[in-house]
Amino acid sequence: MYLCTDSFHHASHKNSEPGWNFCFKIMQYNKQPISIADQIAQLKSRGLIIEDEDVASKVLSVISYFRFANYLRPSEADKATHIFKPGKQFSNALNLYYFDKTLRTVLFSSIQTVEIALRTSVIQNFSMKYGSFWFMNPSLFKDKKIHTACINAIQVELSRTKEDFIRDHYAKYDTPDMPPSWKTLEVVSFGTLGKLYSNFTDTPIKKHIARSFNVPQHEYLDSWIVALTALRNCCAHHARVWNRIYPMKPQLPTAKKMRADWVNVSAVDPSRLYALLCCLLYWVNNIQPENSLKTDIIELLKKYPNVDSSAMGFPEGWETEPLWK
């Protein structure tokens, strides 16, 4: 089936001329569900070695084929036909799945540390200067549309939270419409908190918060919050994290600008996990110096030596960087 349109001009059609018609093919999805036994047969037909079909059957009964396929792709020789490279085994993908699962747990714990610390700092610093309900005041924010969207998101969070301290507040007080910042901002998402911080007009106070974490400028912290929010959401929703390309890229200052151990960023791809790990480790180190994130990452890579760390953006010699020593 084809959908045809009248002539139009678009930047992506550099050679288009008036009077042309463009047709787009519309494909109907017609694949049918298949049994676990057929899933295994299909993998074998594509060249995957399945050492124990009973084990494979049990795995695919608790990890959906579509989810597991993400961990099979590195073993494929042809991404279109899904034919596997010679000698690739089902256990290769299973180990990669367990590596990624453990990695998500490690990352989520550390992101929780920075999220709580940022939440505390924003509440304390902004409230002391601008009062209990600063987040409700549109004059304190640069972009009124973003502020309105944040307020709407906060109201949704307040309406569905089960926290006793929010329920107790509403049982006792009628006005203002929302509890003070130290109650309200404890139930908003990391993303909403970051938008409030980024959109705030008081640059000196934002810079003060950033430097309290040894981050030289608030613009860097802005970008870290956005990037780590995306990573946090991947972890929370059990999505693949190890070799993902992250569209929300953190700004990476040079080592000269940083106030604590950092890395040479010249060979670091900001869209890969290694860049986010560096930001997260730096931030956690300055909140909780005795954290285990660095050790956990290094030990996890040792436990799964067949994982391609370059697919995560780890550059050569990363172990010798001051941040990772």
Q: What is the Cα–Cα distance from 298 to 283, expressed in whole angstroms?
A: 18
- How many whole angstroms separate alpha carbon 225 and alpha carbon 189? 12
> Model pTM?
0.89
pLDDT at residue 287 in the model: 98
Between β-strands 2-5 and 83-84, what pairing exists: parallel, antiparallel or unpaired? unpaired
Amino acid at 189: S
Predicted confidence (pLDDT) per residue in 249-308, tens digit: 999 999 999 999 999 999 999 999 999 999 999 999 999 999 999 999 999 999 999 999
Instruction: Give the mean pLDDT of 227-242.
Output: 97
pLDDT-above-70 percentage for the chain: 93
pLDDT at position 3: 60
- Rounded to an integer, the average pLDDT of 227-245 is 97
Q: What is the mean pLDDT of the chain?
A: 93
Cis peptide bond prior to 176, omega within 30° of 0 = yes
- Beta bridge partners, 324, equal none
Say if residues 4 and 23 touch (Cβ distance below 8 Å): yes
Tell which residue, 234, 209, 214, has the closest CA to residue 284: 214
Question: What Rg value do the Cα atoms of the chain yield, rounded?
Answer: 25
- Answer yes or no: is pLDDT of 36 > 50: yes
Cα–Cα distance, 272 to 274 (Å, whole number): 6
Indicate whether 11 pLDDT > 50.
no
Q: Both tokens of residue 151? A: 């307020």
Given pLDDT bands bounded at 50, 70 and 90, which one contains residue 13?
A: very low
Helix, strand, coil % in the chain, rounded to nearest 5: 55, 5, 40
pLDDT tens track for 154-185: 999 999 999 999 999 999 999 999 999 999 99
d(CA 42, CA 320): 44
Split at pLDDT 50, 70, 90, the class of 27 is confident
Half-sphere exposure of residue 17: CA atoms within 13 angstroms, side-chain side: 0
